[in-house]
Amino acid sequence: MPTYSCFTSPGKLTLAQKEEIARICTDIYHEEFGIARYLIEVIFFEVAKDDRYIAGKPAPPDLLWIRCDVREGRTPEMKARLFHRVQQGVARAANVPEEAIWFYLDDLPSWNIMEWGHIMPKFRPELVPHQDDPWFQELSASFKESLQKLA
């Protein structure tokens, strides 16, 4: 957890820009909340011009919508730091104004999240940066090793 879903116009981002945005989103979330990198996912969706509207009119092609599903438990201040850092980094990588980034966080209770075959523990800010350790310790040795290779 988290899972970032990034919505753009078709062809808006190059492969290099997608890779940079995925790195930015992963790095910032890891730095802000201490979540292991193997728990951070970034997915890109290209949405046709005729399928994106604002005020009943086709949306401008430079807009990037980001929805990020996260475990609940972060303070408004923690979320604000994440919003601004991701907004700035993604705007720079996508070569668009910061105002073109629309970013939503969707808080989910931990019991509604299963990753790598295990239900996620409650977010515990007092354990940052290692709050996923109890979850990790329940995994088999071979699976721990495979996840550590992703980090």
* Per-residue model confidence as pLDDT tens digits over 21-30: 999 999 999 9
* Per-residue model confidence as pLDDT tens digits over 42-51: 999 999 989 9
**Most confident of the following: 2-6, 32-36, 48-52, 107-111:** 2-6
Range scoring the smallest mean pLDDT among 67-76, 81-90, 95-104:
67-76
* Residue, of 125 and 21, whose pLDDT is higher: 21
Q: Check pLDDT > 90 for residue 126.
A: no
Confidence of residue 129 (pLDDT cuts 50, 70, 90): low
Q: Where are the domains of the chain?
A: 3-150
* Per-residue model confidence as pLDDT tens digits over 2-18: 999 999 999 999 999 99
Q: In 10 A of CB 42, how many CB atoms? A: 20
Average pLDDT, the chain: 91
Query: Could you tell me the fold of the domain covering 3-150?
Result: Macrophage Migration Inhibitory Factor (3.30.429)
Q: In 10 A of CB 1, how many CB atoms? A: 21
* Per-residue model confidence as pLDDT tens digits over 137-148: 778 888 888 888
What number is the average pLDDT over the span 87-108? 97
Pairing of the two strands 114-115 and 118-119: antiparallel
| Residues 6 or more apart whose Cβ sits within 8 Å of residue 67 | 4, 5, 7, 103, 104, 106
Q: What is the pLDDT of residue 132?
A: 60
Burial class (CB in 10 A: 0-12, 13-18, 19+), 27: middle
Q: What is the pLDDT of residue 131?
A: 59
What number is the average pLDDT over the span 94-115? 94
| DSSP structure class, residue 12 | S
- Over its C-alpha atoms, the chain yields an Rg (Å, rounded) of 16
